[in-house]
Chain A
Amino acid sequence: MHWNKKYSQLTQKMKSSMIMDLIEKTQGIPGFISFAGGSPSAETFPKKHLGQLFKQVIEEKGDDILQYGSSGGDKELKQAIIKEEGLSVGLDEMQICSGAANGIYNAMRTLIDPGDIIIVESPTFLGSLVTFEAAGAKILPVAMQADGMDLDQLNDLIRKHGSKKIKFIYTIPDFQNPTGLTMSLEKREELVEIALKNEIFILEDDPYSKLRLAGTPIDSIFEIAGKKYHSQMLVIAIRSFSKLLGPGLRIAYALADKKIINYMDSWLQKVNNTTERVSQQAVAAFLDKGLLSSHKMLITETYRPLLKQIITSLQAHMPYDIKWVNPQGGMFLWLELPEDLNTDELFDKAVEQKVAFLPGSKFYPTGYEKHNGLRLNFTFPTKEQIDEGIKRLSKAVKILMSSPNSGFHFLD
């Protein structure tokens, strides 16, 4: 059979995020050091507590929680989250979803039809780009600055395309993936004003704000919209336990207006029916026992020396022309090479040195790629691996810079 002709039009255009392909390339090579992943360190998983809680919830309520559940999520978990986070939202203003990716999908389906416009930070999380492109959305980039997205550019885009066609602005305000940058309070407020004025939604993706390793926490866009502007109607916040308790659980949640949540629940029902329930109940019990705050501390204490190490190693080994902004938390750091250097080419040179990263071009919407950036994850390797890995990467950078067509001649 000729399958190709049978696929839907969007499927024929669909592409994979390629991340897995890149990661697979480098797996199993002895002595290899990878900064490519986006995974939290497995050492931080609270396996002992979770193990006990899984057992407990199955013994206590197995008959119920092994059954189908409510599409919007178990109320025990919603209540536990509201209490833990001190949220002033109702149960119908929250959805439990199967990881943040699923929440983003449900929100997107609620808001966009093929051809609608989504504005994203540029660069941004490639998983979301793939999701948006697969739905046939038109994606327009706004450049990242040290204090978050360029709002002048955003206003220009809204003026140019009109607010009707632009359905939402996608942002990761804290320790953004891939840049590690954080949006300032002023910009968050201005962004809410822009959204309200133009009636455009904000999709606030927040997987990392709990991983603050330095500086002072900033209110989320969802909170600012409620506290300062008394209208959370246009903000959908996606928050996840993946980086805290383990992504393998696939437990995340969305906060939004109850009408929006109602639609998101319908999409979740169509796509997954129910979010897996044993994990929902175990996470609820974990929160009820008050275990999260000490666990958060354990994670930040694990990551803080790693962040310090990568900055020290970069300062020690990288050539002068390589730039970065030190992140105050999260999992990633973004390097920028001079514009005429290409990190897709650097990738091959780095693999020869037994070190990997993610080339920056993957983090831009199709047609807007830039090639001189790269993402480094600092939470997965050990301190020793970080230093050795950065040494190797610096060597690869120098080799690339010294190649005849690069314009740089370090090693000459």
Chain B
Amino acid sequence: MEKKIVGSFHIRGGDFKNAGAAASEFKSILTKLALTPDLVRRAAIATFEAEMNVIIHAIAGVMYYEILPDHLIITIDDMGPGIPDIALAMQEGYSTAPDWIREMGWGAGMGLPNMKKNADTFKVETVVGEGTTVEIIVNFKEGLYDL
């Protein structure tokens, strides 16, 4: 069987106090595996943005990760409002975040675009009124890692 490292983080909607906690822990896992700084950076940014989207928009969510020798998969499954128009949500600058969140410097409409930019494969599945699932895959182009 192929070697892999799996795990998950639970994220609560509205929990701004712990924003970045999942991304930070995931980053330290990747750093310990000695992934290149560029891979760590890309995965950490994508994870932080995904975590923020759950905190800003959803009631709760779970972030699952799978690290394989040649790529990693991050899946964020939330109980949120869903996205009525994914193409619009993918547009840089478009946001549905309320004013008080924008005043904190979030809700600039860069979350999904930042995730996409840092992913090799990026998928969004959503049902309005039920929730959204985002899948981010980052490939290890420089070769296989010994997990």
- Indicate, yes or no, whether A interacts with B: no
- Point out residues on A near B: beta carbons under 8 Å: none
- Point out residues on B near A: beta carbons under 8 Å: none
